[in-house]
Amino acid sequence: MMKSVLLAAALLGVFSTAALGDDRYVSRPPVVLSPDLAAPWIMQLSGGNVRPVVYQRPVIVQQQRGLFAPRAVRRAPAAQQVSAINPGVPVIRGQIEPQFLPQMVDYQTKEAPGTIVIDTNNRFLYLVMANGKARRYGVGVGKPGFEWAGVHKVTRKSEWPDWTPPSEMISREAAKGHYLPARMDGGPENPLGARAMYLGSTLYRIHGTNAPWTIGSAVSSGCIRLRNEDVVDLYERVKVGTRVIVI
């Protein structure tokens, strides 16, 4: 008899507690699950079909207001520059070795001031100045099999040039699985960069780049590339008709 009384009292206490718990809410709150989609117990509930979404932290790059940007880019906020093709993706600026930064150096030559001499072996471009001086820039040059030497003149200059890859380049890159556009408008994503100076009637140019970390390397198809800020500086100092010597 005593056991029956005790069991009845225990059951009454349990039901009373549940009733009091329900009385605390006008409506019971929803079950809140962990936001960690990789939690093992959630993987089990979902049959293993749920996969965590990994977001890569964007790299925000500060740059000076109006740094050699085309008109369309100057109207954008100056705090960061974003990709022209993938809006919202910050442009990552690469670092180069200090010797490839622009600097005045001693340079003895018989060439007249204003002449450009490009030393492809050492990856330097010299703009000859007066009194045995030259302004030196680091450059990227032709990769193995695309080296060349010769003398030309600057026949044309262009700001934020568009790019039409030669058919030979399109075929060559397609064979590697790289598919190039038939034409690309000028802008920060364009491989020709901020400025271009065309050499003679050839397909070679002195131009900027969207890959500044390649300065000092042999990576091009024969063109001479500089950082965008450096090619803008050179562009302002060079006139059409300038003699260019590539050695």
SS (H, E, C) the chain: CHHHHHHHHHHHHHHHHHHHHHHCCCCCCCCCCCCCCCCHHHHHHCCCCCCCCCCCCCCCCCCCCCCCCCHHHHCCCCCCCECCCCCCCECCCCCCCHHHCCEEEECCCCCCCCCEEEECCCCEEEEECCCCEEEEEECEEECCCCCCCEEEEEEEEEECCCECCCHHHHHHHHHCCCCCCCCECCCCCCCCCCEEEEECCCCCEEECCCCHHHCCCEEECCCEECCHHHHHHHHHHCCCCCEEEEC
pTM summary value: 0.62
Per-residue pLDDT at 9? 55
Per-residue pLDDT at 73? 40
Which residues are identified as catalytic? 207, 223
Per-residue pLDDT at 12? 54
The highest-level CATH class for domain 98-246 is mainly beta
Domain boundaries, the chain: 98-246
Per-residue pLDDT at 3? 52
Q: Average pLDDT across each block of 10 residues of the chain; the chain has 247 residues. List them in order.
A: 54 51 52 41 38 34 43 37 38 73 97 98 98 98 94 97 83 81 85 96 95 94 96 97 98
Per-residue pLDDT at 204? 96
Per-residue pLDDT at 183? 79
